[in-house]
Amino acid sequence: MFVIPNATIKRVEAICRNFLWDSSSEYHRVPLVGWDRVTLPKDAGGLGIKKASIWNIAAVGKLVNWIYTKSDRLWIKWVDNVYLKGSNWHDYKPANDASWTWKSICKVKEKIKDGFIDNLWYPHQKGYTIGNGYDWLLGTHASQPWSVIVWNDWNIPKCSLNSWLIMQEGINTKAKLFAYGVCTDDRCILCETQTETSDHLFNYCDFGKQVHELIEEWIGRSIPTINELMITNRNNMKWKAMALIQTTYRYCVWTQRNRARHELCVERPVIVFERMKKMIRSQVRRKYPNRDGRSDFDAVGSLMRFLN
């Protein structure tokens, strides 16, 4: 609840941003996704990381709320006696010779005062909290329909993060690198026939198609696309299993593409499939240990083959 100087907040956010992309507090890599998008809620397309600048305003807002509600605290009585002197807090303006901290608190009051009606915080009946103050300051953002697929609770975490990057166009495909002048051509390194974009890699690449066919042969049914998953029932096990397959498939194809680029080694599709199969089987066992044959797992239907 202390007022943190802007320079300090910027440094804190820089450390968080650099650590996210490079596991270091110093700047070494260009961020793949802008910080403003990273700090959005997950359902709005972000990672749900709190933005320090907004969080500090919300935290100082707790002091503002205490003054609004005339909380029975010694500090509030001191503020009323030294600064307010009976003034209406909602319309109060600090004097020019007031302290920096008090002026900063008053600036925060101006930013959040529209959230107070009759000196009470109106969005939540339980009163002001730093959490609901942060949400109010962050505002509303359009929900991204793909977020439920990316953050499906059946997914493997590293596959979820990889799929999030893909959805945000954050992966460095050859098309992007070629536009930056980093590589000499933009041909797909796996099939060498078309421009390597994320859409090509995961939907049209011959290498990916072969992996896809092996998966469908394994589970005995076709796999819904990401767009199809967005519009189907999201509350059953079969949907969660399909989301798990899609995110794991994208992770395995992307890691194979990176290995082909950096190690000049393209494995056969069946090897990538076996690796993916092992990851999926392990994740299903983790979600449903020792449940082979039970009715709740039977709802997955042909996906019972995961454990065979």
Identify whether residues 189 and 268 lie together within a single domain: yes
- Is the distance from CB of 149 to CB of 245 less than 8 angstroms? no
- Judge whether 254 lies within some domain: yes
Q: What is the mean pLDDT of residues 276-286?
A: 87
Residues 6+ apart with CB under 8 A from 73: 66
- Judge whether 297 lies within some domain: yes
- Alpha helices, DSSP H, located in 200-268: 206-219, 226-230, 237-263
**Predicted confidence band of residue 156 (pLDDT cuts 50, 70, 90):** very high
Convert the pLDDT of each residue in 33-91 to its tens digit.
999 999 999 999 999 999 999 999 999 999 999 999 998 999 999 999 999 998 999 99
Please report, for residues 76, 195, 251, the alpha-carbon distance to residue 152 in angstroms, rounded to integers and kept in the order given. Answer: 46, 30, 15
Identify whether residues 84 and 41 lie together within a single domain: yes
pLDDT for the residue 123: 64
Identify whether residues 258 and 237 lie together within a single domain: yes
Identify whether residues 71 and 159 lie together within a single domain: no
pLDDT for the residue 15: 94
- Judge whether 178 lies within some domain: yes
- Judge whether 258 lies within some domain: yes
pLDDT for the residue 252: 95
Domain end, chosen from 138, 157, 190, is at 138
**Predicted confidence band of residue 243 (pLDDT cuts 50, 70, 90):** very high
Identify whether residues 121 and 55 lie together within a single domain: yes
**Predicted confidence band of residue 29 (pLDDT cuts 50, 70, 90):** confident
Convert the pLDDT of each residue in 99-139 to its tens digit.
999 999 999 999 999 999 888 897 666 789 999 999 999 99
pLDDT for the residue 299: 42
pLDDT for the residue 241: 87
- Judge whether 1 lies within some domain: no
Identify whether residues 158 and 115 lie together within a single domain: no
Convert the pLDDT of each residue in 210-228 to its tens digit.
999 999 888 888 888 888 8
Q: List the beta bridge partners of residue 116.
A: 121
Identify whether residues 97 and 123 lie together within a single domain: yes
Q: What is the mean pLDDT of the chain?
A: 88
Domain end, chosen from 112, 138, 164, is at 138
pLDDT for the residue 223: 87
Choice between 144 and 291, residue whose per-residue pLDDT is larger: 144
Identify whether residues 12 and 120 lie together within a single domain: yes
Identify whether residues 110 and 76 lie together within a single domain: yes
- Judge whether 250 lies within some domain: yes
Domain end, chosen from 103, 138, 173, is at 138
Instruction: Say if residue 265's pLDDT is above 50.
Output: yes
- Judge whether 235 lies within some domain: yes
Q: What is the mean pLDDT of residues 240-250?
A: 92
Identify whether residues 118 and 54 lie together within a single domain: yes
Percent of the chain with pLDDT over 90: 67
Residues 6+ apart with CB under 8 A from 93: 106
Give the residue numbers spanning the domain of 196.
Answer: 147-307
Burial 12-35 (b: 16+ CB within 10 A, else e): ebeebbbebbeeeeeeeeeeebee
**Predicted confidence band of residue 295 (pLDDT cuts 50, 70, 90):** very low
**Any idea what DSSP says for residue 120?**
E
What torsion, rounded to 10 degrees, do the Cα atoms 167, 170, 173, 175 define? 90
Percent of the chain with pLDDT over 70: 93
Instruction: Say if residue 14's pLDDT is above 60.
Output: yes
Identify whether residues 91 and 235 lie together within a single domain: no
- Judge whether 176 lies within some domain: yes
Identify whether residues 295 and 154 lie together within a single domain: yes
Q: What is the mean pLDDT of residues 223-239?
A: 83
* Number of domains the chain is built from: 2
Convert the pLDDT of each residue in 75-103 to its tens digit.
999 999 999 998 999 999 999 999 999 99
